[in-house]
Amino acid sequence: VSALKKAKRFRVHIFLATSKIHLKYKFKKKEEEILELAKKATRLTRNLCEDIEFSPEDATRTERDFLFKIIETAIKEGAKTINIPDTVGYSYPQEIYSLISDILNNVVNINKAIISIHCHDDLGMAVANSLSAVLAGAKQIHCTINGIGERAGNASLEEVVMAIKTRRDVFVDSYTQVNTKEIYRTSRLVSTLTGFIVPPNKAIVGRNAFRHESGIHQDAILKRRITYEIINPKEIGIEKSELVLGKHSGRHALAKRLKDLGFKLGERKIDLIFKKFKELADKKKEVFDDDLIALVEEEIRERKKLYELVSVRVTTGTDMIPQATVRIRYKRKNYQATSFGDGPVDACYKAIDKITKIKPKLISYKLEAITKGKDAQGLVRVEIFYKGKNVMGSALSTDILEASVKAYLDALNKII
């Protein structure tokens, strides 16, 4: 709690499992013991912090009477928000609706707290469940960008927000303060940083969410957008700009475009991005908005770069063993190693391992051409496992091997 003192508004969230399954197998405790624990924990916290959120974990599998009792206790001890978690993503909208209604009707002091909802997506219903809770009277939703979270993840922020906005007719009393124009860019940034790819058929932020393929749909869309589109892509920050920047574009045009894309960047940052933009424009004929967003993302992620790539050279082919020479800068000195491998990336990574002597385990490797055309930039994301921890790394380049090496070094820089 003392660590929170610097926060403008701070809240402590206590959670305690209440379902029979969790009581029996996780805690090996009786209901009365859990109730006593909830009381003590809330009281203790109340002396340190005014704003307490209390979650009866696995609430959707908890017996109603016990659930009412524990909520009443938490509120009595000072909890101001009662969060209802569907911890294992087991529930469906009608059930959530009746659960929230029952809590509102049966917990005597419920008017002293607001109800929150926390849904997991194990059966694919996290968003619908969250919204159903709101219809029943919940005032707060736990959600995450791109729906990331434990297992199948949590309710996705972009879907929740856009549903509330699109169905104003239904959610008359609800609102969010999310600036929807930041949604697309934020989703992209989170995807880059976490290595969780957004599939093309993801609602709101997927590549195809506003793409119409069938002839019937295309024809109707051309006649009138609302025939098959309930959200204007501009609302979530997807600009269908036709303005293309190229190697003859100047710093001013770039700065304006970055501003139009919603980035607020200082002069120094713009200079840095302009330099990278020029390098890119020399390699690519057209620099698209997606290219620029990717460049800014690279720039934003300022990390200590202990290992830095100096150069890499690879020779590979079907009739030979792939071979790589990598040169790395580490604490002002250059190190170089050569290695064979099963493939060119493997050869590079083995050469790096020779230099660093760290040898982590490679868990996953993904490469995506995130911009259009053959001269697209490739985004490589790697996940490595070292001393009990999973670490992600990512990097961008028009050369997939350069990106692969940089992504690996990015991950290594996080573990050393």
Site stretch for its own copies (CB under 8 A), options 32-40, 110-118, 127-135, 236-244: 127-135
* Cβ 287 to its own copies shortest distance, Å: 13
Measured from the CB atom, the residue of 115 and 396 that comes closer to its own copies is 396
Q: Which residues pair with 11 in a beta bridge?
A: 51
**CA–CA–CA angle 204, 207, 212 (5° rounding):** 85
- For the CA atoms of the chain, what is the radius of gyration? 26
The three-state DSSP-derived secondary structure of 123-153 is: CCCHHHHHHHHHHHCCCEEECEHHHCCCCCC
Measured from the CB atom, the residue of 72 and 159 that comes closer to its own copies is 159
Q: Which of 18, 83, 146, 356 binds its own copies (CB under 8 A)?
A: 146
Residues 6+ apart with CB under 8 A from 167: none
Ranges within 290-309 binding its own copies (CB under 8 A): 309
Q: Is residue 123 involved in binding its own copies (CB under 8 A)?
A: yes
Q: What are phi and psi of 220, to 5 degrees?
A: -65, -40
Q: What are phi and psi of 69, to 5 degrees?
A: -65, -45
Q: Is residue 196 involved in binding its own copies (CB under 8 A)?
A: yes
Q: Which of 7, 173, 214, 215 binds its own copies (CB under 8 A)?
A: 214
Measured from the CB atom, the residue of 64 and 256 that comes closer to its own copies is 64
Q: Is the dihedral of CA 68, 69, 71, 75 positive or negative?
A: positive
Do the beta carbons of residue 276 and residue 295 sit within 8 Å?
Answer: yes
Ranges within 55-84 binding its own copies (CB under 8 A): 58
How many positions of this chain bind its own copies (CB under 8 A)? 115
Q: Is residue 335 involved in binding its own copies (CB under 8 A)?
A: no
Measured from the CB atom, the residue of 262 and 413 that comes closer to its own copies is 413
Measured from the CB atom, the residue of 10 and 27 that comes closer to its own copies is 27
Measured from the CB atom, the residue of 234 and 259 that comes closer to its own copies is 234
Site stretch for its own copies (CB under 8 A), options 72-80, 269-277, 286-294, 346-354: 346-354
Q: Is residue 106 involved in binding its own copies (CB under 8 A)?
A: no
Report d(CA 333, CA 387) in Å as an integer.
26
Q: Is residue 247 involved in binding its own copies (CB under 8 A)?
A: no
Report d(CA 326, CA 355) in Å as an integer.
9
Q: Return the structure tokens found at 8.
A: 């403008």
Measured from the CB atom, the residue of 229 and 239 that comes closer to its own copies is 229
Q: Is residue 197 involved in binding its own copies (CB under 8 A)?
A: yes
Q: Is residue 387 involved in binding its own copies (CB under 8 A)?
A: no
Q: Is residue 276 involved in binding its own copies (CB under 8 A)?
A: no
Q: Is residue 268 involved in binding its own copies (CB under 8 A)?
A: no
Residue 48 falls in which region: left (phi positive, over 0), alpha (psi -120 to 50) or beta: alpha
* Cβ 301 to its own copies shortest distance, Å: 20
Give the three-class secondary structure for 294: helix
Measured from the CB atom, the residue of 260 and 342 that comes closer to its own copies is 342
Do the beta carbons of residue 294 and residue 377 sit within 8 Å?
Answer: yes
